[in-house]
Amino acid sequence: MLKENLKDVEQNIKNACAKAGRERDSVTLVAVSKTKPVDMLKEIYDEGVRDFGENKVQEIVAKRENMNDDVRWHMIGHLQRNKVKYIIEDVTMIHSVDSYRLAEEINVQAKKVNRIVPILIEVNIAGEDTKFGVRADETLQLVEEIAPLENVKIEGLMTIAPMVDDPEDNRKWFKALRQMSVDIAEKNIDNVSMNELSMGMTGDYCVAIEEGATLVRVGTGIFGARNYSVN
Ligand SMILES: *Cc1c(COP(=O)(O)O)cnc(C)c1O
């Protein structure tokens, strides 16, 4: 079943890339495996998936023991500062940085293990009360504050768009995030690049790709619905 789901997602990504005149390899599929058992991760690993997204430190820690070393782990959920140290050595990218204090802690821990850790700034693009992420009008300032930290590297922006029935309703938010990244890139801030846009989930990744996503985070579309009660 996972194999078929993955095939469908892959085809949708290809179609969206074609529609937008983009190369397929300009988009990375991050398989969001939160709450799912390692056996399921292995099933799609065997189909070639290497990028996995988790929203809890303890899940990355538990799963990486049982997966091959070439898996690229993406931290996509709210990250507490006291847990940064547990993933610092091998996290591929932290998508969910929304405060200077968090970036500062990532920097401290990254220095200890002699790494420069790629991060994205999470933007609450629609200004929803319920969401983490920095406000749109405070994003540039946060980027400028974090930029001088030597052991983190801002690679772009991330957003979690609103829950909507029609993915077209999120197009404006994806456009807005893209525009924000273009505007920030134009400032040519030292140690900051705006090459990555992490946006789009199961319900709206095709629209996100059309609007410039370079990382799409797909959970349900690959693994099926999540059952939080068993965890
Ligand atoms: C759970 C989650 C996803 C995946 O959501 P689906 O709708 O299941 O594809 C993507 N991004 C973040 C930050 C998540 O927490």
Categorize the per-residue pLDDT at 125 as very low, low, confident or very high, splitting at 50, 70 and 90: very high
Alpha carbon distance 149, 134 (integer Å)? 18
How many residues are there in the chain? 231
Q: How far is CA 48 from the centre of its chain?
A: 19
- 46 phi and psi angles, rounded to 5 deg: -65, -20
> pLDDT tens digits, residue range 176-186?
999 999 999 99
Does 139 contact ligand 1 (Cβ within 6 A)? no
Token representation of residue 33: 């495996």
Determine the distance separating the centroid of ligand 1 and the alpha carbon of 218, expressed in angstroms.
6
Q: Whose CA is nearest to atom 10 of ligand 1?
A: 217
Alpha carbon distance 107, 113 (integer Å)? 10
Does 29 contact ligand 1 (Cβ within 6 A)? no
- The pTM for the full model equals 0.97
Residue-level pLDDT at 229: 66
Does 27 contact ligand 1 (Cβ within 6 A)? no
Alpha carbon distance 179, 172 (integer Å)? 10
Ligand 1 pocket test target in 13, 204, 217, 218 with most atoms within 8 Å of CB: 217
> pLDDT tens digits, residue range 132-142?
999 999 999 99
Contact 180, 136 (CB under 8 A): yes
Percentage with pLDDT > 90 across the chain: 95
| Topology (CATH level 3) of domain 2-222 | TIM Barrel (3.20.20)
